[in-house]
């Protein structure tokens, strides 16, 4: 599959690239700064910014699917963010413009109706004091994806950690959240889940909360 990965230089993005190549996908990585990217062939790199609609459309053209692993800096309790929602709006427009339909978007626990379903310290301390504006933007980002005509899946990881993959059998998935509180998940398992969902479409037009 010809696969474009947005946010490929982030920690989760790098896992996506590594695992996608190992699975035989033809991977293109959109990067803002080629000097900071270290992807070797066969990964194809395109230098561009998700806020640059023209560069984004050029990157999307000819792909079979897109995985967006966009990240953003902590916002604090007062500053609002717009990168995720503006970038995702551009991405949806670019995909629709060139006829690429399959999109997996990684957001996080705390976006939309998943707010309050993480651990207590995350719900009451980290999200409101460190990530408040970021998660407002993730919620807007999800709304843009939901309202698109694309074949989409939203993936909401629990708190991200590093380390070797535990394996797809150790990933728990929730779409109904009543009574659910999740802990953490390894970035390698987020990547593995996204690549499986890319093929299976089990959670098509759903937001899946995932945790180890």
Please, what is the Cα angle at 3 between 110 and 148, to 5 degrees?
50
Which CATH number goes with the domain that contains 60?
3.40.50.720
Comparing CA positions, the residue from 102, 194, 211 lying closest to residue 155 is: 194
- What would the pLDDT profile of 136-151 be if each residue is shown by its tens digit? 999 999 999 999 999 9
Task: For residue 34, name the pLDDT band (cuts at 50, 70, 90).
Answer: confident
Structure token pair of residue 152 = 């989409």
Task: For residue 191, name the pLDDT band (cuts at 50, 70, 90).
Answer: very high
Q: What residues pair up with 152 in beta bridges, in sequence order?
A: 103
User: What crossing angle do the helices spanning 187-200 and 11-22 adopt, rounded to 10°?
Assistant: 50
User: What mean pLDDT do residues 49-60 have?
Assistant: 90
Whether 169 and 147 have beta carbons less than 8 Å apart is answered as no
Q: Which residues make Cβ contacts (< 8 Å) with residue 69, sequence separation at least 6?
A: 5, 6, 7, 8, 10, 12, 13, 16, 106
What's the structural domain count of the chain? 1
Ramachandran region of residue 206, left (φ > 0), alpha (ψ -120 to 50) or beta?
beta
Q: Look at residue 75 and tell me whether its pLDDT is greater than 80.
A: no
151 φ/ψ angles, rounded to the nearest 5 degrees: -90, 90
Whether 106 and 155 have beta carbons less than 8 Å apart is answered as yes
Q: DSSP characters for 52-112? A: -HHHHHHHHTT-SEEEE-------TTT----HHHHHHHHHHHHHHHHT--EEEEE--TTSG
Comparing CA positions, the residue from 10, 185, 193, 29 lying closest to residue 104 is: 193
Q: What is the pLDDT of residue 78?
A: 73
Structure token pair of residue 33 = 């700064």
User: What mean pLDDT do residues 162-170 have?
Assistant: 95
Report how far apart, in Å, the C-alpha atoms of 2 and of each of 27, 38, 65, 144, 185 are. Answer: 6, 20, 7, 24, 27
- What would the pLDDT profile of 109-126 be if each residue is shown by its tens digit? 999 999 999 999 999 998
User: What mean pLDDT do residues 82-98 have?
Assistant: 95
The domain in which residue 90 lies consists of 2-211
């Amino acid at each position: 599959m010809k696969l474009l990965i947005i946010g490929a230089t982030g920690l989760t993005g790098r896992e996506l690239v590594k695992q996608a190549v190992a699975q035989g996908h033809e991977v293109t990585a959109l990067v803002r700064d080629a000097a900071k990217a270290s992807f070797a062939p066969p990964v194809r790199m395109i230098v561009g910014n998700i806020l640059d609609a023209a560069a984004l459309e050029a990157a999307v053209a000819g792909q079979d699917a897109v995985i967006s692993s966009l990240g953003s800096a902590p916002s604090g309790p007062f500053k609002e963010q717009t990168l995720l929602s503006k970038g995702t709006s551009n991405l949806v427009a670019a995909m629709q413009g060139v006829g690429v339909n399959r999109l997996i978007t990684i957001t996080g626990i705390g976006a939309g109706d998943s707010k309050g379903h993480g651990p207590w310290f995350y719900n009451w301390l980290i999200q409101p004091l460190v990530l408040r504006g970021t998660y407002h933007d993730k919620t807007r980002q999800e709304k843009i994806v939901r309202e698109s005509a694309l074949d989409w899946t939203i993936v909401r990881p629990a708190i991200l950690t590093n380390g070797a993959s535990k394996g797809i059998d150790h990933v728990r998935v929730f779409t109904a959240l009543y009574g659910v509180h999740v802990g953490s998940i390894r970035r390698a398992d987020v990547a593995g889940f996204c690549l499986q969902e890319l093929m299976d479409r089990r959670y098509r037009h759903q937001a899946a909360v995932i945790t180890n």
